[in-house]
Structure 1
Amino acid sequence: MTDQIQRFLFDDTNVRGEVAGLERAYAEVLERHAYPPAVTRHLGEMLAAVALLTETVKLDGTLSVEVRGEGALSLLMAESNPGGELRAIARLDEDAALPADDADFHALVGEGRIVITLDPREGNRYQGIVAIEESSLAGCLEAYFARSEQLATRLWLAADGQHAAGLLLQQLPDDRNSRDPDAWERTVHLASTVKPEELLQLGQRELLHRLYHEETVRVFDPKPLRFACNCSRQRIAQALLNLGAEELRGILDEQQAIDTQCHFCHTRHHFSAAEIESLIESPDAGTPTLH
């Protein structure tokens, strides 16, 4: 399976879609964390979902999906951008017992909510929130689109610890170019026949042909997907500054230095006492002299 996402549409209809597959990017996320099988599966679905949503909303910026629950899996988060860069993380409640490896999304997360954040390079940040009421991540995201975007949207997600994949269909509100009023029901019905192993093992074009060989499908050039983390020493320094001078100096009194680690990629950053003092004294000077 190639790490990529592919857009497609059905000619003379108001139905469009995307299909995504992940292998190396998924592996790079898992290599940085030791998650149990139940978590790796849902984390893979989250990666596929955030790639699909980013391509769907056409955002020039960062899109993140954050799941916060009261179950064994307290946090599940993934981010993507138009460049096809992905990262993700999960956090477990150490006091909660993990359910079986095949537990569904709701059983693992429990009560909670999903927050979808659109953070454009220019313009205002937007957040949409949906309660976790469905048994799957796909079902919760479909509910979000139905309530917040008011667009009929269906998703099929799958992951097995080695591969992750997703298929999205969306009905556009403007049907002036549609000569096929039954297209939405028909394409959704055909997509609903897809099996998880087909999503995970077939190439995108092969999958689309298997599902829609009797339809007129226009398939666009694929876009590569990859793991990438946007953390940097400068961003970490700014986050430390946000703690305030008093708290930073209190940490230095105890530790003589500050060591941090990115939760997504595990990159470590060391700040000496002199570097922290320099940041406090000249917060607008940036961090070009930090090593």
Structure 2
Amino acid sequence: MKNNQDTLQRFVFENTPVRGNLVNLTSTFQLALNKQSLPSGLRQALGELMAASALLTATLKMNGSLVLQIQSKGLLKLLVVECNSDFGIRATAKWTGDVNDQQSLFDLIEHGQFMITLDPKDGGQAYQGIVPLEGDSISAILENYMLRSEQIDTKIWLSCDGNAAAGMLLQKLPETMNQVTQNEEHAEHDVDTWNRVGHLASTITDNELLNLPTETLLKRLFNEEDIRLFEASHTAFFCSCSRESVANMLRMLGPDELNSIIEEQGQIEVNCDFCNTHYKFDKVDAIQLLVAEVTTPGSSKVH
């Protein structure tokens, strides 16, 4: 087993504004998607989006969840990945019609848009950004979003072979007010560093990204750079669904809708798209739903 499986590692280029993250998702990827029957192209795309979600979460100072979504009016309706601040990740896809293993993500998209949601815990203000899809890869879409919406220079490399997913992110942090007053020579040095490490990183291959241990990969790419590598964080598949959260969702349908479903079907059945857990509510359960209070208010969160 590679020593970097299911890990996220941050690193910085010393005395520069450039930072980076590396992630490998192996069992995390398999546990998240093996219960879902996905065409190869969508499985690969979700793997790349899962890796991207961990890379971006590692750049945030937030206790909560980051949700990445690609929505489309084509055969693909939705790709969605959620990563919490402990690097618990879940993912799923929705599509219509016949999608075969030879079709890529971009064969299935029409009039697509990319959405990123930051959902803090403890009642913090949620943030949502929506932009048109720009780019011919998930990496390009994310880079364009970060530059346009966050004004942060970002380079992302993603790979998925159907059994594991991996990614690398580089960012040039924006200048502070103090840095703006620094001499032009120092500013030019920062730009030169950013351009140089970006060029070096662009030589990475999918095989290296997926299979090389973190320290070996960094040495291969940036042998002459002064890099500080931080302690690894661990990733895992995690689904936040529960019978309680499903019950609260059903309560929001209202008594008329709940009674109609019970009369027609005899029970209410809900399946979690992320983990495939099946929830059943019989007539007695439905009565309890109607008399109990909703324990958590509705929100923009993915249930």
Q: TM-score, normalised by structure 1?
A: 0.92
In the alignment, which residue of structure 2 is the partner of 1:156?
Answer: 157
**Distance between the aligned counterparts of 2:75 and 2:255, measured in 1?**
36
Matched positions, count: 283
Who is 2:301 aligned against? none
What is aligned with 1:92?
95
User: Alignment partner for residue 234 of structure 1, among 228, 232, 244?
Assistant: 244
| Counterpart selection for 1:45 from 45, 48, 63 | 48
The Cα shift of 1:127 comes to 0.3
**Could you tell me which residue of structure 2 aligns to residue 211 of structure 1?**
221
Runs (4 or more) in structure 1 with deviation over 3 Å come to 96-99, 175-180
Q: Please tell me the residue identity of whatever aligns with 2:23.
A: A
Separation of aligned partners in 2, 1:130 and 1:98: 28
Per the alignment, in what secondary structure is the counterpart of residue 44 of structure 2?
helix
Aligned-partner SS, 1:128: strand
Hey, what's the Cα distance between the residues in 1 that align with 2:43 and 2:295? 41
Deviation (angstroms), 1:108:
3.2
**Cα distance change of structure 1 residues 274 and 120 upon mapping to structure 2, 3 Å threshold:** same
Q: Determine if contact 2:40/2:101 at 8 Å carries over to the other structure.
A: no
Q: Does 1:67 align with 2:70?
A: yes
Q: Does 1:108 align with 2:108?
A: yes
- Which secondary structure does the structure 1 equivalent of 2:58 belong to? helix
RMSD: 1.7
Give, in whole Å, the separation in 2 of the partners of 1:222 and 1:108.
Answer: 36
Report matched runs for 1:125-136 at 5 Å.
125-136=126-137
Deviation per CA, 1:51-103: give whole Å up to 9, x if none.
11111122210100011112332211100011110000012222x554735x3
The answer on whether the counterparts of 2:266 and 2:283 sit within 8 Å (CA) in structure 1 is yes
2:208 pairs with 1:198? yes
Q: Percent identity?
A: 39
Which secondary structure does the structure 1 equivalent of 2:57 belong to?
helix
Residue in structure 1 matched with residue 230 of structure 2 by the alignment: 220
Contact 1:32-1:266 at 8 Å conserved across structures: yes
Query: 1:106–1:134: 8 Å Cα contact kept in structure 2?
Result: no
Q: C-alpha distance in 2, partners of 1:210/1:169?
A: 16
CA distance in 2, matches of 1:191, 1:52: 16
Q: Give the whole-Å Cα distance in 1 for the aligned partners of 2:7 and 2:292.
A: 43
Aligned counterparts of 1:66 and 1:161: Cα–Cα separation in 2: 20
Residue 86 (structure 2) aligns with: 83
Q: For 1:139 and 1:65, how far apart are their aligned partners in 2?
A: 14
Where do 5+ consecutive residues of structure 1 fail to align? 287-291
Q: Equivalents in 1 of 2:100, 2:78: separation in Å?
A: 14
Q: Which amino acid aligns with 1:109?
A: I
8 Å contact from structure 1 (residues 259, 269) kept in 2: yes
The letter for the 1-side match of 2:134 is E
1:5 matches 2:15: no
Deviations 1:125-154 (A, max 9, x none): 100112112110110111111111011111
Question: Aligned equivalents of 1:285 and 1:47: distance in 2?
Answer: 30
Residues 229-260 of structure 1: CA distance to partner in whole angstroms, max 9, x if unpaired?
A: 00011100000011111100110111121111
Residue 57 of structure 1: SS of its match in structure 2?
A: coil
CA contact (8 A) 1:45 1:157 kept: yes
In 1, the alpha carbon distance for the partners of 2:50 and 2:275 equals: 15
Q: 1:36, CA displacement in angstroms?
A: 1.6
Tell me the distance in 2 between the aligned counterparts of 1:149 and 1:209: 30
- Give the AA of the match of 1:65: L
One-letter amino acid of the counterpart of residue 242, structure 2 = S
Question: Deviation of residue 277 (structure 1)?
Answer: 1.0
| TM-score, length of structure 2 as denominator length | 0.89
Which runs of 5 or more structure 2 residues have no equivalent in the other structure?
297-303
Equivalence for 2:117: 117
SS across alignment from 1:188: helix
- CA separation of 1:219 and 1:250: change in aligned 2, threshold 3 A: same
Q: Give the direction of change, closer, same or farther, for the CA distance of 1:285–1:83 in structure 2 (3 Å limit).
A: closer
- C-alpha distance in structure 1 between counterparts of 2:137 and 2:246, whole Å: 34
Q: Which residue of 2 aligns with 1:140?
A: 141
CA contact (8 A) 1:21 1:204 kept: no
